[in-house]
Amino acid sequence: MGDPLLLQVAQPVSEFGTAELASLLVDMRDTMAALDGAGLAAPQIGISLQVVIFGVGANPRYPDAESVPYTELVNPVLEPIGDEIEEGWEGCLSVPGMRGVVPRWRRLRYRGFTPEGAPIEREVADFHARVVQHECDHLLGILYPMRVRDLRQFGFTDALFPGESIQDD
Ligand code: NI
């Protein structure tokens, strides 16, 4: 947080299936795995392109969260379904050591492409919807602290959740 690249709107990918795109995804997968994150957007590793990855298996950090299939999503478009909004805790690999409560659409449809150019369309809710909104916000130059409504619910993970050893995501 503080790097101007994270405040930029990312460029759409214009060509699918290229070696450059494949290599970007290798870097993103490695970074997300090394940091044990739930998702990652290309601008977080210095590339201002509309590419996000996310996925959560059974994870002790999210005991109440359903698993989210590992997904590589290029040029995503989000569309809320209904007007239900849910508050929930989020962290971010670009804002290490902190957590905040962020309002998100509870249900949404997302569309986009695989890196090879195959279309993806899904309707999701709850934690899956939250992860997608968080990652796609990165492509609009929005970091989650910019969406926190009550700054009393934003702080250092160690202070908010003492003894729980929650990592960034
Ligand atoms: Ni993030």
Which pLDDT tens digit goes with each residue over 64-97? 667 899 999 999 999 999 999 999 999 999 999 9
Say how many Å lie between the CA of residue 41 and the centre of ligand 1.
Answer: 7
Determine the Cα angle at 39 with ends 38 and 40, to 5°: 145
Which of the four pLDDT bands, split at 50, 70 and 90, describes residue 167?
low
Percent of the chain with pLDDT over 90: 86
The pTM of the full predicted model, rounded to 2 decimals, is 0.94
Which pLDDT tens digit goes with each residue over 8-30? 999 999 999 999 999 999 999 99
Res 59: pLDDT: 61
Say how many Å lie between the CA of residue 168 and the centre of ligand 1.
Answer: 9
Report the run of H or E that residue 32 belongs to, with start and end.
Answer: helix 19-35
Which of the four pLDDT bands, split at 50, 70 and 90, describes residue 168?
low
Say how many Å lie between the CA of residue 113 and the centre of ligand 1.
Answer: 20
Q: Which residues are catalytic?
A: 135
Percent of the chain with pLDDT over 70: 93
Query: How far lies 80's CA from each of 91, 107, 109, 122, 151, in Å?
Result: 22, 6, 6, 12, 25
Q: Which residues are in the CB-under-5-Å shell of ion ligand 1?
A: 92
Say how many Å lie between the CA of residue 135 and the centre of ligand 1.
Answer: 6
Does the pLDDT of residue 61 top 90, yes or no? Answer: no
Res 88: pLDDT: 97
